[in-house]
C-alpha cells in the first residue's frame, strides 16, 4: 500500500489482482485455462470519490460466481480486460444514490480484487439486506441461479403437486435448487447428473436411467443452463406426455459447440401439446423480494440447502470456470476472492 | 339400385365408390396418386337400421376435406380400405342418440360415397346448425381448419392490436383464415406463400421477401400445418423479437421427410424469451359454439371469406390430396362428392 499525492484527501493505491481474458475464445470449442491469466501488475486507487462519479461505486469483491452464461461473454469481452460475472462485493466508495459506503451488494462485477462499476452496471446491483446467511449464497441460491430456479419452476412451469419433474444437470447451481423446490412442492423429481451431458459422449439410447426417468409421467422438464442440446432434448421430446411444459434458460452445448446440434423431434410439441418457453431471469428481478420471502425461511429451517463448491483465491478462478463446462463441480461453483 | 330380400323392410343396395389406399405410403417421401385407387366394385345397403346399431350412423358424404394431417394416417390406414378424413355428410340412417335422420354433420368420415360410422367416430361428429352458408365451409372456415386458426390465433398466440403476425403457408386452409383474423384484430400480417416451402428448394438466405418480413417486429409466428420445417423455423428463430410467440399445429415437412430436418436455432428461444407451443385442435372443440358466434357474423358481413379450391368428384380426390403437399392449392382444398 502506498500513500500518493499531497492533497488533504490521501489516495491509497493498492495492487488489484485480476483474471484477464488473454484472447477471445472462439465460438466453437471449450474454453481453456490458458485463455485467461491472473495478473498482479494492476493497481487501483482507493478512497477517491471522484473516480466513481455520481453514478458509480468502487467495490471490494468477496465472492465470484462461475456461471455458464459467462461462456458467451468470452467471445465478446475485450481482450486484456478482466472477465465479468456475478459476484458479491462490499462498497468502499459510493457515488450512486441507491447505495452507501459499507453496503454489501450482489450483481455483475469484474474478476478482480476491486472493481469500479458505473452505469449501467452499478444500477443493476442489488443491496444485500439479509446477512444472517452465508454471503456466498448471493452467488447461488439467493442470487441469479436461485431466481432462475424460482422463476423457471414457479412462473414458467407451474407444476402441480404429485407431478413428475425432470431436471437435466441437477447437480448444477440451478438444477439443485429446482430439485429441492420441486420436492417442497410435493412433486416427484428425476434428477440427471451432469455426467449425462453430451461432453461425455453420452448416448441416451443406451442409458437405462435416462429412459426410465423419461418414461414416467413427467410433467415439467426444466432445462437449466446445462450440458444439454440436441440429443438430450430430442430424447425428452420423444418421451413427452400430453400438456408437458419445458422451461429453457440456456443450452451449454450451444455455447461450446458453436454450430448447435440439430433438434429433430419438435413435431412432438404438436402431438403432445407441449409448451416450450425460454426465459432470461433479469426480466423477473422485480419479483426478487417475493422470492426472498419464500426462500429465506426455507434456508433458515434447513429445508433448502445450497451445495457449494468453493475455489479459494482469484488464482483458482480460471480452472474453476473451465471445469464448470466439463461438469466437475458439484453444486454452485464459487470463487472466494477475499474474506468477508 | 336393386331391391334385395323379401322381408317387410326392403333393403336398397347401391354402388359405393371409394378411394382406397392401395398400399402403405412410407414415412419418408411424398404420397403419389398411384398410392390410391378409385374403385366402384363396393356396394352398401341403405335403409337398414340394424347395420349401424345403437351407436352408429350411415351417412352420404357430400364434401371431403384435403388436410395435411391425412399424410401421417397414410402410413397407418389399413391397406385396401378407404382413406379417412374430415368431411360434410348427411345422415341417412341413424342409430346414434345425438342425431336424427336428415341431419347434416361434419367430422371424420371415409373417402367414399357412403360411410357407416360407429363408435368412436360417430361420437365426434358435429351437427351443422347453420345452413345459410355454403355447406363446404364446414370442411374449412367453419370446420377443423377454421377452429385451428381460431384457437391458434386467439387462445395460443393472443396477439395485440398493432402487432405483426407472420404466417407461413398463408395460402393454405388455416393460414388464410389466420391472416384474415389478424387483420380484423388490427394486426399487420406478413403472408408467406407456399412457394417458399422447402419442397421448392427454398433458401431463406437468398429470399429477400422472407427476410424483409421477418426483420419487422413480428410478435406472432403462426405455423399452420404447412410446408415448414427445419430451414424455415431456423430462419424465423433467427429473427425473433423479445416476447414473441410461436404456435405450431403441424409440420408438413416432417410428414414427408420421414427423418425431420434438424432445427439449430432453438437457443434464440432463451435469448428472446419466446414461447413455442404445439396444440391439437380437437382439444378445443368445446369452444366450437363460441367460435361460431364470432365467425358467422364475419362471414355474413363478408369480412372473412373462405377461398376454396373445389375438385369435382371422388375420382379427382387422389390428385387433389397429393397436390396439397406440393402446395398447388390456393385456399381450402375440397373434394365435391355429391350435390347437396
Reported as a single tens digit per residue, the pLDDT across B21-60 is 987 787 777 888 999 999 998 888 886 667 788 889 999 9
What is the chain A residue with the closest CA to B269? A278
The cell numbers describing A111, all together, are 474478476
Residue B86's pLDDT is what? Answer: 96
Cα separations in angstroms, B211 against A14, A246, B175, B218: 53, 29, 19, 12
Residue A174's pLDDT is what? Answer: 78
CATH number of the B144-283 domain: 3.40.50.720
Partner residue opposite A270 with nearest CB, options B250, B259, B273: B250
For B265, counting Cβ atoms within 10 Å of its Cβ (0-12 exposed, 13-18 middle, 19+ buried), the class is buried
Residues of B in contact with A280 (CB under 8 A): 270-271, 273
Of the candidates B46, B54, B50, B20, the one whose C-alpha atom is nearest the C-alpha of residue B122 is B54
The mean pLDDT of B224-228, rounded to a whole number, is: 41
- Listed in order, the ranges of chain A carrying CATH 3.90.180.10 are 2-139+306-336
Residues of A in contact with B280 (CB under 8 A): 270-271, 273
Most confident listed range (A323-327, B51-55, B187-191, B214-218): B51-55
- B2-140+306-336: CATH topology is Quinone Oxidoreductase; Chain A, domain 1 (3.90.180)
- Start-to-end C-alpha separation, chain A: 20
**Which one is the CATH code of A2-139+306-336: 1.10.10.10, 3.30.70.20, 3.90.180.10, 3.30.465.10?**
3.90.180.10
- CA distance to partner chain B, nearest, from residue A264 (Å): 5
- Listed in order, the ranges of chain A carrying CATH 3.40.50.720 are 144-283
Residue B204's pLDDT is what? Answer: 39
> Looking at the DSSP assignment, which residues form a beta bridge with residue B88?
B63, B106
Asked if B274 reaches chain A (Cβ–Cβ under 8 Å), the answer is: yes
Distance CA A340, CA B24 (A): 72
- CA distance to partner chain A, nearest, from residue B153 (Å): 15
Q: Which residues of B63-101 are buried (b: 16+ CB within 10 A; e: fewer)?
A: bbbbbbbbbbebeebeeeebbbbbbbbbbbbbbbeebee
Backbone angles phi, psi at B25, to 5 degrees: -90, 125
Instruction: Give the CA radius of gyration of chain A.
Output: 21
Average pLDDT, chain B: 79
Residues of B in contact with A76 (CB under 8 A): none
A window 196-235, beta carbon within 8 A of B: 230, 233
Residue A142's pLDDT is what? Answer: 95
Residue B214's pLDDT is what? Answer: 55
pLDDT digits (tens, 9 = 90+) for B4-30: 444 445 568 889 999 999 877 877 778
**B198: pLDDT strictly greater than 60:** no
The mean pLDDT of B162-172, rounded to a whole number, is: 69
Residue B190's pLDDT is what? Answer: 63
Partner residue opposite A269 with nearest CB, options B259, B270, B276: B276
Asked if B279 reaches chain A (Cβ–Cβ under 8 Å), the answer is: yes
Distance CA A305, CA A16 (A): 33
Of the candidates B130, B135, B57, B142, the one whose C-alpha atom is nearest the C-alpha of residue B99 is B57
Residue B207's pLDDT is what? Answer: 52
Below-50 pLDDT ranges, chain A:
1-8, 193-206, 216-219, 224-228, 253-254
Segment holding A94, helix H or strand E: strand A84-94
For A42, counting Cβ atoms within 10 Å of its Cβ (0-12 exposed, 13-18 middle, 19+ buried), the class is middle
pLDDT digits (tens, 9 = 90+) for B78-137: 677 899 999 999 999 999 999 999 999 999 999 999 999 998 888 999 999 999 999 999
Of the candidates A69, A15, A11, the one whose C-alpha atom is nearest the C-alpha of residue A39 is A15
Residue A100's pLDDT is what? Answer: 95
Distance CA A245, CA A264 (A): 18
DSSP 8-state code for residue B154: I
The cell numbers describing A313, all together, are 483465491
**B253: pLDDT strictly greater than 80:** no
Asked if A248 reaches chain B (Cβ–Cβ under 8 Å), the answer is: yes
Residue A206's pLDDT is what? Answer: 47
Q: Residue B297 — pLDDT band, cuts 50, 70, 90?
A: very high
Per DSSP bridges, beta strands A104-110 and A114-117 are unpaired
Per DSSP bridges, beta strands B114-117 and B57-65 are antiparallel
What is the chain B residue with the closest CA to A277? B275
Segment holding B290, helix H or strand E: helix B288-300
SS (H, E, C) B281-324: HHHHHHHHHHHHHHHHHHHHCCCCCCCEEEEECHHHHHHHHHHH
Residue A72's pLDDT is what? Answer: 76
- CA distance to partner chain A, nearest, from residue B55 (Å): 28
Residue A200's pLDDT is what? Answer: 32
Amino acid at each position: 500500500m502506498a500513500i500518493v499525492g499531497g492533497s488533504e484527501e490521501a489516495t491509497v493505491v493498492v495492487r488489484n489482482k485480476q483474471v484477464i481474458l488473454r484472447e477471445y475464445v472462439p465460438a466453437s470449442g471449450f474454453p481453456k485455462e490458458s485463455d485467461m491469466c491472473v495478473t498482479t501488475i494492476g493497481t487501483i486507487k482507493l478512497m477517491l470519490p471522484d473516480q466513481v462519479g455520481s453514478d458509480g461505486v468502487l467495490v471490494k469483491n468477496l465472492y465470484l460466481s462461475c456461471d455458464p452464461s459467462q461462456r458467451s461473454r468470452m467471445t465478446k469481452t475485450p481482450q486484456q480486460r478482466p472477465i465479468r460475472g456475478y459476484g458479491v462485493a462490499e462498497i468502499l466508495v459510493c457515488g450512486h444514490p441507491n447505495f452507501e459506503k459499507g453496503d454489501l451488494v450482489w450483481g455483475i462485477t469484474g474478476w478482480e480484487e476491486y472493481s469500479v462499476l458505473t452505469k449501467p452496471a452499478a444500477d443493476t446491483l442489488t443491496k444485500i439486506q439479509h446477512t444472517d446467511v452465508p454471503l456466498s449464497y448471493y452467488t447461488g441460491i439467493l442470487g441469479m441461479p436461485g431466481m432462475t430456479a424460482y422463476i423457471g419452476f414457479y412462473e414458467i412451469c407451474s407444476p402441480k403437486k404429485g407431478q413428475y419433474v425432470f431436471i437435466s444437470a441437477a447437480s448444477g447451481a440451478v438444477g439443485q435448487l429446482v430439485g429441492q423446490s420441486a420436492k417442497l412442492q410435493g412433486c416427484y423429481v428425476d434428477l440427471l447428473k451432469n455426467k449425462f451431458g453430451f461432453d461425455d459422449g453420452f448416448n441416451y439410447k443406451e442409458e437405462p436411467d435416462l429412459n426410465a426417468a423419461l418414461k414416467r409421467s413427467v410433467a415439467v422438464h426444466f432445462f437449466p443452463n446445462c450440458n444439454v442440446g440436441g440429443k438430450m432434448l430430442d430424447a425428452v421430446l420423444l418421451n413427452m406426455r400430453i400438456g408437458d411444459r419445458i422451461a429453457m434458460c440456456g443450452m451449454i452445448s450451444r455455447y461450446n459447440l458453436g454450430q448447435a446440434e440439430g433438434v429433430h423431434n419438435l413435431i412432438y410439441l404438436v402431438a403432445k401439446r407441449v409448451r416450450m418457453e425460454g426465459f432470461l431471469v433479469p426480466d423477473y428481478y422485480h419479483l426478487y423480494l417475493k422470492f426472498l420471502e419464500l426462500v429465506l425461511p426455507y434456508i433458515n429451517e434447513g429445508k433448502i440447502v445450497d451445495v457449494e463448491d468453493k475455489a479459494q483465491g482469484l488464482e483458482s478462478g480460471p480452472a474453476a470456470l473451465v471445469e464448470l463446462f466439463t461438469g466437475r463441480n458439484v453444486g454452485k461453483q464459487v470463487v472466494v476472492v477475499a474474506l468477508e
